[in-house]
Amino acid sequence: MAIAKAERLMNLALCLLGTRRPLSKRELRQSIEAYLEAGSDDSFNRMFERDKDDLRELGLVIETVENLDGEVGYLARRDSNRLPPITLDAEEAAALGLAAKVWQQARLAGAASGALQKLRAAGLPEDVDPYEAHGALEPRIPVHEAAFEPLMLACRDRRPVSFDYRKATAVRPEPRLVEPWALECWRGHWYLAGWDRDRGAERVFRLSRITGRVRTRSGKFTAEVPDVVTVRETVASWAGEIADRSAVIRLRTGAGYPLRAKAVSVRELGGGWDELVIPYGHGLDAWLVEFGPDVVVLEPAELRADVVDRLRAVAKG
């Protein structure tokens, strides 16, 4: 779930749980910032109805009644939404303990420690260590990039950021002004999805290619945050893992082992070259450029042209 929608649902739930009388849609719209920014009444009504349905699917009991002015009002009574006491056996508590210990960053260590203390109170035995309960399993989410923490906070607070970013085929980094949406880890690398203001489009950035410091900018987001941000799907498609075409390339013998692993056929040409057929999607041109003179694209023509353009751009840099 996108951060913006989660924040909106949380604010709506707090309003409904915190009121002693039914609140009309008009009152709720005036109380929640996201609803004030919704634009037209139709947009607000659709957003509110979706949010109300989502909260009910999550288990919140929302009552619909008429208030004193004859308007339809909404509230969530605390006694109807009170959870029963939590009881955990050793296996369940240990599993949650493992989840709480995943994050090792200093800023999150306090929250994780507090969660573990609550787990102890909820039934995690003092003599059960989450690591020992599951043998040698020690989960970690590695974060080596300095950009991670400021971007995580910017995603949470919905604050625009600026940073210098070096593309895979570029010699020098370029400045980017981005409205950050979500961070996600894919195959050991962290990626940021967001709205690139200068390019006026959604973009995904690999954190390891961010150079220098991430700076927080003032002002609000200018683009709507989607309810679902598909970071992994986007990166997979750029990496050529969502393949809908085939490319024929000439590869120097003894080079390009990652390309050979993807090939559906390999044929020796002699003279120190092999011919490979590789299924691919978007982004293969950027990957082929990394192999330099060891790769020559034979087909299709448009892929060959894209690779040549990228090589020329690198040469000019």
Q: Where are the domains of the chain?
A: 3-80, 90-133, 148-238, 245-316
As assigned by CATH, the class of the 148-238 domain is mainly beta
pLDDT of residue 108: 55
pLDDT of residue 133: 47
Order of all β-strands in the sheet with 273-280: 265-270, 273-280, 245-252, 295-299
pLDDT of residue 308: 87
Q: How far apart are CA 166 and CA 42, in angstroms?
A: 42
pLDDT of residue 34: 86
Q: State the CB neighbour count (10 A cutoff) for residue 194.
A: 26
Q: How far apart are CA 25 and CA 16, in angstroms?
A: 11
- Which string of DSSP letters, residue by residue, matches 56-67? HHTT---EEEE-
pLDDT of residue 283: 66
pLDDT of residue 134: 47
Closest C-alpha among 58, 62, 63, 82 to residue 5: 58
- CATH T-level topology, domain 3-80: Arc Repressor Mutant, subunit A (1.10.10)
Measured in degrees and rounded to the nearest 5, phi and psi for residue 91 equal -65, -45
pLDDT of residue 239: 53
DSSP-based three-state secondary structure for 137: coil
Predicted model pTM: 0.46
Task: State the SS3 of 81-94.
Answer: CCCCCCCCCHHHHH
DSSP-based three-state secondary structure for 150: helix
Q: Which residue ranges in the chain fall short of pLDDT 50? A: 1, 106, 130-131, 133-137
Measured in degrees and rounded to the nearest 5, phi and psi for residue 280 equal -155, 165
Q: How far apart are CA 251 and CA 163, in angstroms?
A: 36
The answer to whether the beta carbons of residues 259 and 278 sit under 8 Å apart is yes
The answer to whether the beta carbons of residues 28 and 74 sit under 8 Å apart is yes
Enumerate the H helices of the chain as residue ranges.
Answer: 3-18, 25-31, 33-36, 41-57, 90-100, 106-122, 130-133, 148-157, 231-238, 257-262, 284-289, 301-316
DSSP-based three-state secondary structure for 298: strand
The two tokens of residue 177 are 């002004």
Q: How far apart are CA 12 and CA 264, in angstroms?
A: 53
Cβ-in-10-Å burial (0-12, 13-18, 19+) of 201 comes to: exposed
AA letter at 89: D
Q: How far apart are CA 292 and CA 288, in angstroms?
A: 7
Q: Report the run of H or E that residue 280 belongs to, with start and end.
A: strand 273-280
Q: How far apart are CA 41 and CA 72, in angstroms?
A: 16
The two tokens of residue 264 are 């559906």
The label of the residue with tokens 């309960």 reads: 133
